[in-house]
Structure 1
Amino acid sequence: MKWLFAPVPLGRIAAFRTLVYVFVALDLTVFTPWVRSHANTPGELYEPLLIGRILPLPTPTHILVWVVFWALIVLSLAAATGRAPRVLGWAVFALYVEWMVIAMSYGKVDHDRVGLLVALAVLPTIGRARFGDKTLSEAAGWALRVTQIAVICTYFLAAWAKLRFGGIDWLTSAVLAQAIIRRGTWLADEIAVVPGLLIAAQIGIMLFELSSPLIFVVPQRFRWMGVAFFYSFHVMTFSMITISFAPHLVAMASFLPLERVRPIEWVRRRLGRRAEVSPAAREQPT
């Protein structure tokens, strides 16, 4: 249990919170703007996810989609400031869940948002946190740890799904070849012609996803290497088939020492340097 509640500096939460909430606004406007098109989608095509049936959530309408959109934009940017972290945090979480139900209830369900949703769910449980705050908090440690677990589960369960639905034959299938045909880049086209390389890549992906939980047993001083590998994997994925996994990458920042991010202090230093230079410049003879 100590592992689950290992304390971390509150400054890490402050930076992570800002990153997550700013991303929510960017997600609505940059990464998944297509969700807004459901405002004009006939209600008969709406097949809600399980959570949408349990609650139950209303069928999206033109008004509902746009109200959720603008409310999320305003509240997520407000939450990014760190003000009223609990009230704004819970509001953003509830609205983003509704936004995801609207997005994913008309077909394919993306699995790159599990970590982000967990982060949005746990961040409101922590009170105020300031950039650079070195105060250790078990609550902050728990919030980041469960987010990390969700991130790793995304990898491990992806491998399980491959084996469950594709069987061991997935390793030697044409999955990557099909993805490259559909949305491959010039780099993917160059790699695809190398005999056996795509099969080797699929085996490597499976091994990587199945072994991803080992990140938790790697010594802390070496863990950054594993996290760097995770990020590099997604850089390669994007460079080959233009799938970004942006929400997942944001959630994965829970592994990073974000307490070192101190934008206010950086701005003050910058302004202080300018203030020191200005008098000296005025004293120079003309």
Structure 2
Amino acid sequence: MGTVTATPVPTQVPGWLCAPVPLGRVALFRVLAYLFVAADLVVFTPWVRGHATVPVELYRPVLVARILHLPAPTPALVHGVFWALLAVALVAASGRWPRVLGGAVFLLYAEWMVVAMSYGKVDHDRFGLLVALAALPTVGRARFGSAEPSAAGGWALRVTQLAVVATYFLAGWAKLRFGGIEWLTGATMTRAVLRRGTWLGQLVLGVPGLLVLSQFGIMAFELASPVVLFVRERARYLLVGGFYLFHAVVFATVTITFLPHQVAMASFLPLERAVSRLLGCPTDSRR
């Protein structure tokens, strides 16, 4: 009998959605996300703990809470989630048990957001961060400084990028859907400056037509945001830098930060290269 030669099984090349990235990039992004969660609890949204004593009649659960039949906030639930999430997020930032602790961070933070957003106001700047927290545990272990390419890491960062772009694009669509084309020439930005404007915002308010012009710019920016997913690397970094500049201007004029969204935006950036240059350790990663 002749020798039978086994036919090699072709390796499936990950597509655009799973384009590999260095594991070191994932490790840094994970630290950034988990440390922000801890900071969010104690610095940016400490007011959520006040919902522990709010009358239950004011609780209007968001859709996911209704679907999952989540309980109404009580002092035990709110304070329990706070302390558990703070501890788990800090340990998860060390890279230990990435799947277990990462999954726990996502579930606890999602519950924290349900408690935060079920009283009449829902912030859309949390979407990208929540997607990142859901995706990061799927990567598993990722070491700092590792240049090993990872399709799982690429997927986690890519879906976060998609969530970031969806946040912009759907915000623009919502303006048109609920405000109509008149949103472009309305007084939305004027009201924002009058309510919470800084000295810089007051200066802008004094220039006739400038705030209306800014509304045209905001709409164009939001609806065109998907372009960032398809341009070359250098152009992508320039566009993301423009995103950060946009948020800096918004904060400087009307003190709105979108910090969770900006953390999620870091999924576009070669964090390992930035850290290597900062520490004076050149990297050969080109992904």
**TM-score, normalised with respect to structure 2:** 0.91
- What is the rounded CA distance, in whole Å, between the counterparts of 2:280 and 2:213 in structure 1? 48
- What is the rounded CA distance, in whole Å, between the counterparts of 1:177 and 1:228 in structure 2? 26
* 2:228 paired residue number: 215
Deviation per residue, 1:4-62 (Å, 9 max, x gap): 11000000000000000000000011111110100110111111011101111111001
Task: For 1:161-176, list aligned pairs within 5 A.
Answer: 161-176=174-189
- What is the rounded CA distance, in whole Å, between the counterparts of 2:204 and 2:234 in structure 1? 34
Match of 2:167 among 148, 154, 162: 154
Match of 1:86 among 99, 114, 122: 99
8 A contact 1:147–1:251 mirrored in 2:
yes
**What's the CA shift for 1:260?**
2.6
Deviation per residue, 1:222-274 (Å, 9 max, x gap): 211000000000000000000000000000000010123558x9599xxxxxx
Q: Which amino acid aligns with 1:104?
A: M
Deviation per residue, 1:147-201 (Å, 9 max, x gap): 0000000000000000000000000000000000100000000011101101100
* 1:204 paired residue number: 217
* 1:103 paired residue number: 116
* 1:179 paired residue number: 192
* 1:282 paired residue number: none
Q: Which amino acid aligns with 1:158?
A: A
Percent identity, aligned pairs only?
64
* 1:256 paired residue number: 269
- Following TM superposition, where does structure 1 have runs of at least 4 consecutive aligned residues deviating by more than 4 angstroms? 265-268
Match of 1:120 among 113, 133, 136: 133
- What is the rounded CA distance, in whole Å, between the counterparts of 1:217 and 1:95 in structure 2? 34
Residue 72 in structure 1 maps to residue 72 in structure 2? no
* 2:207 paired residue number: 194
**What's the CA shift for 1:220?**
1.1
How many residues end up aligned between the 2 structures? 267
**TM-score, normalised with respect to structure 1:** 0.91
